[in-house]
Each structure stands twice: as structure tokens, then as C-alpha cells.
Structure 1
Amino acid sequence: MIKRTLFFANPAYLSTKNEQMVVSFPEEDKKETKIPIEDLGYVVLENQQITITNGLLMKLVQNKTAVISCDQQHLPCSFFQPLVGHTEQTERMRHQLNASLPLKKQLWQQTVTAKIENQAQHLLLQGKNALKLKRWAKDVKSGDTDNHEAYAAAYYFQNLFTIPAFSRNQKGIAPNNLLNYGYAILRAVTARALCSSGLLPSVGIFHRNKYNAFCLADDVMEPYRPFVDALVYDIVETGCQIEELNQNLKAALLRIPAMDVMIDGKQSPLMNAMSRTTNSLYECYAGSSRKLLYPNF
């Protein structure tokens, strides 16, 4: 089932009644709205004048709805996650924490290979040369000791956008702002799926920054990034204004959880595919599988 994404850019009062989210607006001409909580997958709170009740927060978290709040620059900055995301959470976390170094290196090898292959397919879709990426994808070693991921990313972004002086940098020129926003949404999708699979988003395969609470999310989302890149590329190609993230651009990027992707030979919404990926990761931790399931671009 595809869950709905709600985006609140205006002042609102959010509460709950009869297992529904009740949305009230300060403006007298706007009618009160009710949405079933079970239909909600993501709720993005952007306006600083939004009030949300604790009762609603509790029900959203119990429904595994990702509640994302934004900072003063209107970028996602926090994500509410449940303390208990799966009935077997303790056992699953134990398998995750006991994962051997060789297993982690193999998982990272699969992740980097899938990411580079998807980057190559995206370049080919846009009629660009991807021979180097194809070769690097085949040469990734256990643990990516040769750092093919970094080389591939640099080449990929140098050749993707035909924008003078463009380079991938969080504080760089547009469309870096669109990529930042899209990746933040993707990160929340990944963290939500990891929690639902009973895993710790903070304990990564490769990423291990002590200041990063979402190391595993940053690992698992890597092969999904080209899907965000493709959406941003399409927006850029329309010729619309991209220097400032307006409401229309955000609305387009908030389609990311419902994007169609191909995984295991079947078409699936990205949010559902991510759940299959995180479940396959648990199976690798538990020793019942050695293969991570990632989408093919």
C-alpha cells in the first residue's frame, strides 16, 4: 500500500480524533480537514507556527509515520522515530551489532556496486557516456578499498548536469539545493524502513561518524540516490527557476517516496522497495542470506 505524504507550509493546528489527523487553520475561510492516520507515511512540518498535539505524535509514531520537521532554511532537520519499531527488535539489533567485519565489507561492496551501476544507467538514460562507471562497478572490491565510490561520484556529477561550474556540494550552486532536499527526504524514508525492520539507523556498515545518528541510513540509501538525481534532472530540464526552493519544487521532490522503481524484477513504490532492502539487510545480519536487495535503475 502506498502511504500518503502531507506537507504543511502554512500555520496549522494538528490534533487527533477517532484515529484521524484533524487539521485546523487560523484562517477563517479554510475548513477543518480530517485524514485517516493509517493512510499516512510521511508528514513534513515546515512552518514555524505549526502546533501539533502529543496525542497525534503518539499515534503517528505508533503507525510508523515519519514525522519530519524543517529548520529556518526550510530544509528537513529532524525525524521522529519510534523506540520500538519491530516486535523482534532486541534480537534483530543483536544480530546487527554482532555482524562481523568481513560481512560488513561484503555488504558495502554490494552497496557501492549497486550505486555505481545505477549512476551509470542514469547517465545512459540521459544520453551520456557511462563506460568508466560500468568498469568501476565491476572492479569494486570487498570494503571498496580502492574508493571507487568517490571516483564514480565525482565523474558522475561532472557529466550529469550541463551547468557551468557545477559540482556536488551541499552549499554549492543550484541544483545542489534540490539535491539536498531530495536526499533529506530519502534519508527519512530509509530511517523509517530501518526502524520498521528492527534495526538501529545509527550503527552503520561503512559510515561510522560518532556525530551522525543515521549512519546505517546513509549507507543503505546510496543506491537509491540516482532516483532522486533523475527527478532533479527532469526538474532542471524544464527550465524553471531553481535558485530558490519554492512550494512547487518541494511538492515535486515530496513525490520521492511514491516513485516507481524496479526491484527484484518487479515495479514497486520506492518506499516499499526500501522496506524490502532493509529486510534483506536484516537477513544478511541473521545469516539467512548473503545478498542485499537493491533496485535497478
Structure 2
Amino acid sequence: MIKRTIYIGSPAYLRLKQKQLVVENPEDKSIKGTVPIEDMALLMLDHYQITLSNQLLLKLQGNNVAVVSCDAHHLPFAMMLPLYGHTEHSDRIKHQLEASEPLKKQLWKQTIEQKIKNQQALLKMNDKPYEQMDLYWQHVKSGDTTNCEAKAAQHHWKYLFENFTRERFGNSPNNLLNFGYAVLRSIVARALVSSGLLPVLGIFHRNKYNPYCLADDIMEPYRPFVDKMVYNYISQYGVPEKLTKECKAYMLNIATQDVWIDGVERPLMVAVTTTTASLYKCYEGELRQIKYPTLD
């Protein structure tokens, strides 16, 4: 079953009743909606006047629901996940900790190759210059020591959008991209926990201030799917000046976008769990290749 992403953008009191999330109006106590906890994957809180019961939080964590809080700019800022989400947690962490540097460098090579291929596919489907991307993904070395990822990214952003510079706090559509990537990061972090892995231990990213290094690694080949959604949004509605509720509602659909992975078409959220499960098998020695989606 496809799990749901729930967005709350107005004052609300959230509580648990009969294994369901109950959204209550804090002023008149009227019920605005209910959602079965077992159907949820991500709960996004985008208003300062939202209150949750601790009983609800415990139930959400017990069902591996990622709870994401937004900041004053309405961008995802913090995330809450359970400490573990797999019955073989300690054994899986042992394999993750024992992964060799050569293995991690090979895994990063595979990750960057697929990211560039997906960027290339997005450029091609929108009649943008894409041929040069062959040079980048074909020359990725172990650990990407020649920095092909950055070279490909420069080409990708130069041609995907007109008069655009990719900057974290730059002009729109940077805000749409930031929001989409933050949602994607939450989805990947949740899948890593459900696969019994620690999101903090990356295969490439190493930052003592970043608790989601591995999520930042594994999400890389999925980023072009966010780029695709943003490109399609702009093509249909134009570049938005602000990150409206309509924009966010559109980007939250990233979880249910269909992608091809391992020869099967699946919703992106399901595909991510396929990727994280294959990553563990690489740590364990059962596989030598991470399963990533292809953008078609």
C-alpha cells in the first residue's frame, strides 16, 4: 500500500483516537479530518500554532512516520524519526560500521553515475542539450575523485532553466527545489531507518554537524525527479514568486510519482525502500550494486 504524506498548514490540535490522527480546530474543537496512522509515511507541520499530544507522537514513531517541522520561511527545518525501525537493528548497524572505504567509494561511484544519467534523461526529454553528459557519467571514478558530479551539475543547471543560478537562498525556483529536496530527504531518511541503517553514517558525506549524511548520499539519483516536477510546474504555471500552499501541495506529490527501478514501475516512496534495502545488502556482501531508479 502507498503511504500518505499529510500536510498541516493552519492552527490545529493533533491527537490520537482509535489508531487515527485526529485534526481538531483549536478554537471550536470541531474535527477537520482523520487519517489512519498506519497509512501515513510523513507528517509535515507548517504553522507555529500546531499542538501534538505525546501519545500521538509515540504512535507516529512506532509506525515509522517522519514528522517534519517547517521554519518561518515555510521550508522543512527539523525532522523526527524513531531511534530504530528494524528488528535486526544491531546486526545491520554492525555491517554498516564495518563497510570498507573501497566499498563506500564504489557505492558513491554508482550513485553519481546514476544521478548524472537521470539528469541527462531530464534534459533530453525536454529538448535541452544533453550529449555532453555522456562524458561525465562515463568518466566517474571510484569516489568521484575527478568531481564529475559538479561538472555535470553545472551543465544541468545551465540548460534546464533559463537565466537560472542554483543557490540555496537564490531567486525562485530555488525555493521550489529546496522544498522538494527537503521532502525527498525526509522520505530517504525514513526508508534508511526502516532498513535498519543509521542515516548519520554516510558513504561520502562526512559532516559532524549533519545527522543525515547517508540520506544526503542516497537521495542524489532521486534529485532529478524533483527537478522534473519543478520544470513541469514552471512550464504550466510560470515561475512562482512565493512558495504558496498550492506549490507545496504540488511538490508533496513527489512521494507518489511513478519511477522505474529494478525493471518495475513503482511509486517513488516505494522505490526508495528498494534502494535502501539494496544498500544494506551491499554492506552485508550479498550485492555489489545499489538499486537506483531510472528517469524515463
User: Counterpart in 1 of 2:198?
Assistant: 200
Find the aligned partners of 2:287 and 2:100 in 1 and give their Cα distance.
Answer: 14
Q: Deviations over 1:42-91 (max 9, x none)?
A: 11000100000000000011111111111111110111111121111111
Please give the residue correspondences for 1:258-297 in structure 2 after superposition, counting only pairs within 5 Å: 258-297=256-295
C-alpha displacement at 1:29, in angstroms? 9.2
Match of 2:100 in 1: 100
Give the distance between the partners of 2:105 and 2:255, measured in 1 at CA. Answer: 28
1:56 aligns with 2:59: no
Matches within 5 A, 1:122-141: 122-141=122-141
Q: 1:31 & 1:61 partners in 2: Cα distance?
A: 23
- CA offsets per residue over residues 208-257 of structure 1, 9 Å max, x none? 01111110000000000000000000111123451100000000001011
State the SS of the aligned residue for 1:237: helix
For the residue of structure 2 that corresponds to 1:262, the secondary structure is strand
Match of 1:9 in 2: 9
Q: CA deviation at 1:13?
A: 0.3
CA distance in 1, matches of 2:8, 2:30: 14
Q: Secondary structure at the match of 2:260?
A: strand
Per-residue CA deviations over 1:84-142 (Å, capped at 9, x if unaligned) read: 21111111111111110100010000000000000000000101111111221111111
| Residue 103 of structure 2 corresponds to residue 116 of structure 1 | no
1:145 counterpart residue number = 145
Q: Does the CA-based 8 Å contact 2:22-2:31 persist in structure 1?
A: no
Q: Supply the distance in 2 between the matched residues of 1:122 and 1:24 (Cα, whole angstroms).
A: 42
Q: What SS class does the counterpart of residue 114 from structure 1 fall into?
A: helix
Give distance in 2, aligned partners of 1:50 and 1:93: 35
Name the CA distance, whole Å, in 2 between partners of 1:33 and 1:244: 27
Q: CA deviation at 1:32?
A: 4.2
- The runs of 5 or more residues in structure 1 that have no matched partner are none
Task: Calculate the TM-score normalised by the size of structure 1.
Answer: 0.97
Please report how far the alpha carbon of residue 167 of structure 1 lies from its aligned counterpart in structure 2 after TM superposition.
Answer: 1.0
1:216 aligned to 214, 217, 224, which one? 214
Q: In the TM superposition, what are the counterparts of 1:179-190 in structure 2 within 5 Å?
A: 179-190=177-188
Does the residue aligned with 1:254 lie in a helix, a strand or coil? helix
**Which whole-Å CA distance do the structure 1 matches of 2:117 and 2:91 have between them?**
33
Q: Distance in 1 between matches of 2:150 and 2:182?
A: 20
Shift of 1:33: 2.4
Task: Extract unaligned runs of 5+ from structure 2.
Answer: none
Aligned to 2:250: 252
**Greater Cα shift, 187-196 or 231-240:** 231-240
Q: Report what 1:91 is aligned to.
A: 91
Cα distance in 1, alignment partners of residues 230 and 279 from structure 2: 28
2:132 partner SS: helix
**Aligned pair in 2 of structure 1 residues 138, 241: CA closer, same or farther (>3 Å)?**
closer
Q: Deviations over 1:169-196 (max 9, x none)?
A: 1011110000000000000000000000
CA distance in structure 2 between the aligned counterparts of 1:205 and 1:191, rounded to whole angstroms: 14
Residue in 1 that maps onto 2:45:
45
| Alignment-mate amino acid for residue 114 of structure 1 | Q
1:155 alignment counterpart: 155
Counterpart CA distance in 2 for 1:34 and 1:242 is 31
How far residue 27 of structure 1 moved from its aligned partner, in angstroms, is 4.8
The equivalent of 2:165 in structure 1 is 167
CA distance in 2 between partners of 1:87 and 1:29 (Å): 39
Q: Report the count of equivalent residues.
A: 295
